Structure 1
Amino acid sequence: MTFRTAARPTTPEADIRAWTDQSALRSGRVMLTPDLLALAQSGATILLAARTAEGRPTSAAAAACRALSPTRLRIIMSRGAGKPVIDALREGSRVAVTFTGSNQHHRAFQIKAETAVITPARPEDMPEIERQGLLFCEGLAEIGFTKELAAGWLFADTEDMIAVEVEPERIFTQTPGPGAGAELRP
């Protein structure tokens, strides 16, 4: 199966057109398009959200994302900083993950899933944490942050990393503008 890579959309309407053009639902499973897979691994800001057993929302930033396939993402995050989210996921919470581009276009999307699988971080995750962290800092520099400030966001204790694997069941455009929040449907 081959997908065309659409031009970089910068509006929700463009996201929806690109999604529709790339026809992202196959065999009843939601598949992320090449554009969305690239964005997820581009040094984007990554935020995981869940809810506690008491129904309270909780969220945490992640360090990197690895696309294991168009239907499965591996989100790498700090176990310590993400403890409330990880605990909520272990208790059976649904999960939402938002990816926001790290440069001036602010393209963003969100995936939602009923379940997530928590696994130890693997050695092959570590180069992605570094690569995506550097891209994230470059994105901050593009919008005027100093390199020193951006570098402060790069610290990642590799001994503290954990992974959350998710199979998206629904995808939404989060790019700012009219139509933000619309579900991307084939």
Structure 2
Amino acid sequence: MDATASGNQPDAPLLDEARADFITHHVAMNVASCSAARVPSVVRAHGCRVSADRRRVTVFVSVPRAARVIEDLRAGGGIAVVFTLPHTHETLQLKGARADVVPLAPGDDACIRAYVESFVKELVRVHHREALGRAVMSSADEESMGLVFEPNAAFVQTPGPKAGSRLERQP
């Protein structure tokens, strides 16, 4: 059976509209990479943009806090990003074979500010103080860069029986 007959569209994006919407607000975002020596690095992201065709994802990170991740990615390492909705623990992981480190594009500052506000509201929803959310997102006030990648794998990581299951490409 070929990929089309099984429902897996090899040229389709991994993200459908609902998942693209999910990863762009309210969620906690953590970006991981590793060095050539396989030493892992992790940094919190403070926003995300998905391309109109849903094939490319850009996550925004603080340059000083993400120095090691940026170094790993510039050396050609892969990227993994986890998106978790705090009030339900719904979690999606995206992986890419490589990522480009790019300056912010016009409109990215507004995207970051909107994300920070939505994330702070989500933390308040789960009974945390607004001040905690602002402290967690304080990196958004620092110099930022975008990490752009094309997801080549996606996984459900929500706790439960489907955790770790691979998502297929959407038509």
Q: Which residue, out of 74, 81, 86, partners 1:97?
A: 81
- Tell me by how many angstroms 1:148 deviates: 2.0
Give the deviation of 1:96 after TM superposition.
0.7
* Corresponding position of 1:81: 65
The question of 1:64 aligning with 2:74 is answered no
**What is the SS of the residue equivalent to 2:22?**
helix
Does the residue aligned with 1:30 lie in a helix, a strand or coil?
coil
Q: How far apart are 1:161 and its partner, in Å? A: 0.4
Q: CA deviation at 1:30?
A: 3.4
TM-score between both structures, scaled by the size of structure 2: 0.87
Corresponding position of 2:130: 147
Corresponding residue for residue 176 of structure 1: 159
Give the fraction of aligned pairs with identical amino acids, expressed as a percent: 26
- Matched to 2:158, the amino acid is T
- Cα distance, 1:155 vs. partner? 2.4
Matched-pair contact (CA < 8 Å) for 1:29–1:169: no
CA displacement at 1:27 relative to structure 2: 4.7
Corresponding residue of 1:134: 117
C-alpha displacement of 1:107: 1.0
Contact (CA 8 Å) 1:100, 1:107: kept in 2 or not? yes
Match of 2:18 among 28, 35, 40: 35
CA contact (8 A) 2:92 2:156 kept: yes
Give the one of 78, 100, 104 matched to 1:121. Answer: 104
For structure 2, the 5+ residue unaligned runs are 1-5
Q: Deviations over 1:5-40 (max 9, x none)?
A: xxxxxxxxxxxxxxxxxx985453433011111111
Give the gaps of 5 or more residues in structure 1.
Answer: 1-22
Secondary structure (helix, strand or coil) at the match of 1:99 reads strand
Give the 3-state SS of the residue equivalent to 2:101 in structure 1.
Answer: strand
Q: Which residue of 2 aligns with 1:10?
A: none
- Higher mean alpha-carbon deviation, 31-40 vs 164-173, is at 31-40
TM-score, reference length from structure 1? 0.81
Runs in 1 of length 4+ with deviation above 6 angstroms? none
Number of aligned residue pairs: 163
The answer to whether the 8 A contact 1:30-1:170 is kept is: no
2:34·2:69 contact (CA, 8 Å) conserved in 1?
Answer: yes
Q: How far apart, in 2, do the equivalents of 1:158 and 1:137 lie?
A: 14
Distance 2:108 2:8 in 1: 28
Name the Cα RMSD after superposition: 1.9
Q: Could you say which structure has the higher helix fraction? A: 1
Letter aligned with residue 42 of structure 1: H
Q: In 2, distance between residues paired with 1:158 and 1:34?
A: 29
